[in-house]
Amino acid sequence: MPLSVAVAGASGYAGGELLRILTAHPDLEVRTVTAFSNAGQPLVSVQPHLRSLSHLTLVETTAENLRGHDVVFLALPHGKSGAITAELPDDVLVVDCGADHRLTDEADWATFYGGEFFGAWTYGLPELLHGGTGGRQRDELVGAKRIAVPGCNVTAITLGLAPGVAAGVVESTDIVSVLAVGPSGAGKALKTHLLASEMLGSASAYGVGGTHRHVPEVQQNLRLAGATEVRLSFTPVLVPMARGILATTTATLAPGVSAHDVRAAWERAYAAEPFVHLLPEGEFPRTADTIGANTCLIGLAVDEAAERVVVVSALDNLVKGTAGAAVQAANLALGLAETTGLSVDGVAP
């Protein structure tokens, strides 16, 4: 019998993507969907593409409505999940797609988010390398009951660069990452700068100068991968594509390291990974090739003149960047095959 699932924040983009993935999951059954302002409406009135879930009605997002399920997925704005999850039983698997439980450092939370600090949960990036031990984050997810899903930009940068940090082939004190990002990552709420008339034919940077909230999370991950100090200049750029992230990350080449050494580090890291794929030498990914798939595609080069490694990583911010990552981590926590209900095939054109 499938495990029962509740999805909080089901009227948003991340919640909708969770539901789309879960409809094809053989071991999980969505029984409750919740929302705030959209509570009381049929789910299909706000997620009209989810025809197979037309029997569901959105109910209010409360701990009472979320109790009684085997698995609870939260797709809520930051600051909204901490208080609710504190009221859920310890034996329920809770997977938070928001930021409330990602950071381990309370000072980082205060600086970049503010408000009450709810503490860190088991981090939901299975492929993240643990420097020095040779392990990966997936080992920590087995049997977990509280999981924090990474930020989408964080996933693109971390998966792109962590192999080089873990292998010691790049310097972690001079990292520059520029990301082309689709607006669905900003959520479904109406915002003037995200209107089509404002975005089409334009690109604009935001979170400039080290102010983006994902900065400390990337630093946290790269330290786990083996870095003692991380200096990161991270600039996201909003571009007119509905979904997707293309991250171009560069770092100084470590002394005495060859281009062969660099490629070998990434090949070792991802050779057996089902959802992270290193492309052949000279090939670089497009966001279009990841849409709808739980994949991160990576292209790799060494700029000999600049003595820098260049990593280009692409993913769908709503799948591998959020909802797919949540289901992948939940599979591990529940003892299911990690790939259950998840696809490596994108949608084209």
| Exposed e or buried b per residue across 303-317, where buried means at least 16 C-beta atoms within 10 angstroms of its C-beta | eeeeebbbbbbbbbb
For 325, the token pair is 């990552």
Q: Which residues are catalytic?
A: 152
pLDDT for residue 39: 95
Torsion (CA) 20, 85, 136, 265 in degrees, nearest 10: 60
**DSSP label at 6?**
E
The mean per-residue pLDDT over the stretch 278-301 comes to 98
For 295, the token pair is 């994949």
Query: Closest by alpha carbon to 7, among 120, 95, 85?
Result: 95
Mean pLDDT of all residues belonging to the chain: 96
For 120, the token pair is 């860190």
- Model confidence at 132: pLDDT above 80: no
pLDDT for residue 196: 85
pLDDT for residue 186: 84
pLDDT for residue 19: 98
- Model confidence at 213: pLDDT above 90: yes
The pLDDT > 70 percentage for the chain reads: 100
The mean per-residue pLDDT over the stretch 192-207 comes to 90
Domain boundaries of the chain, sorted by first residue: 3-150+320-334, 153-317
- Model confidence at 189: pLDDT above 90: no
Residue 223 banded pLDDT, cuts 50, 70, 90: very high
- Model confidence at 169: pLDDT above 90: yes
CA atoms within a 13 Å half-sphere pointing along the CA-CB vector of 303 = 13
Judged by average pLDDT, the poorest of 76-85, 175-184, 206-215, 266-275 is 76-85
CATH code reported for the domain at 3-150+320-334: 3.40.50.720
pTM of the model: 0.96
CA distance 123 to 148: 5
Max Cα-Cα span within the chain: 63
CA atoms within a 13 Å half-sphere pointing along the CA-CB vector of 56 = 30
The mean per-residue pLDDT over the stretch 140-146 comes to 98
State pLDDT tens for residues 84-120: 988 999 999 999 999 999 999 999 999 999 999 999 9
pLDDT for residue 193: 87
The mean per-residue pLDDT over the stretch 290-300 comes to 98
- Model confidence at 256: pLDDT above 90: yes
Query: Does 3.30.360.10 match the CATH number of domain 153-317?
Result: yes
Q: How far from the centroid of its chain's Cα atoms is residue 143's Cα?
A: 20
Judged by average pLDDT, the poorest of 87-96, 196-205, 224-233 is 196-205
